[in-house]
């Protein structure tokens, strides 16, 4: 059985600055790296930060700042709760790209600048770290499918 959703946001960091993020309508994912041109790409344990729309909406209701890239994520997906998937779960995005859940994302102290309750209050709620297994072009609106 597979779970399906869709990609609702792509954001990357083209240059210096911890939260200098820019939205994209499409991006190329590179195996073992992340988003082409992303200065934070290439780390083996965190090619991508992926967060789900449902969690973002919950955080917004609690008064946290949200929006594409605000919490440092690269991708926002809707209809798929990756935090409920075990490490090693593979997820297809669009026609060709496949990413693998590495671990839950651990929120860092930089989030304190956005809200003094963070990072402690959002542990387990800021998505997952993933590595790109197979690259390809992804676009906002693409299907996102957890592979069984």
Reply yes or no on whether the pLDDT at 91 is more than 50. Answer: yes
* Structure confidence at residue 2 (pLDDT): 62
% residues pLDDT > 70 (the chain) = 93
Write the CATH number for 77.
Answer: 2.40.33.20
Q: What is the DSSP string of 62-102?
A: TT---STTTTS-SEEEES--GGGSPTT-EEEETTTEEEEEE
Of residues 87 and 123, more confidence is placed in 87
Q: At 121, is the secondary structure helix, strand, or coil?
A: helix
Can you tell me the distance from the alpha carbon of 5 to that of 141, in angstroms, rounded to the nearest whole number?
9
User: What pLDDT score was predicted for residue 148?
Assistant: 65
Q: How many structural domains compose the chain?
A: 1
- pLDDT band, residue 15 (cuts 50/70/90): confident
pLDDT at residue 17 tops 60: no
pLDDT at residue 66 is higher than 60: yes
Bridge partners, residue 50, by sequence: 75, 128
Report how far residue 45's alpha carbon sits from residue 5's, in angstroms, rounded to the nearest whole number. Answer: 24
- Least confident segment among 1-10, 89-98, 108-117, 136-145: 108-117
Which residue from 98, 100, 108 is spatially nearest to 73, judged by alpha carbons?
Answer: 108
Phi, psi (5° rounding) for residue 36?
-55, 125
Q: Domain range holding 62? A: 3-146
Least confident of 32-36, 58-62, 64-68, 130-134: 64-68
The rounded Cα 10 to chain-centroid distance in angstroms is 8
């Amino acid at each position: 059985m597979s779970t399906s959703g869709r990609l609702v946001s792509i954001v990357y960091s083209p240059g210096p600055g911890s939260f200098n993020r820019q939205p994209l309508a499409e991006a190329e994912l590179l195996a073992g790296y992340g988003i082409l041109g992303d200065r934070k790409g290439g780390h083996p344990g965190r090619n991508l930060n992926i967060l789900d729309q449902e969690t973002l909406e919950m955080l917004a209701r609690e008064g946290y700042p949200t929006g594409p890239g605000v919490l440092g994520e690269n991708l926002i997906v809707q209809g798929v709760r990756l935090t409920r998937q075990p490490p090693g779960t593979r997820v297809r995005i669009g026609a060709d790209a496949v990413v693998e859940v590495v671990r839950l994302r651990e929120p860092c102290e930089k989030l304190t600048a956005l809200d003094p309750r963070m990072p402690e209050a959002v542990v387990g709620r800021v998505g997952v770290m993933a590595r790109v297994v197979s690259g390809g072009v992804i676009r906002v609106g693409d299907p996102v499918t957890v592979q069984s």
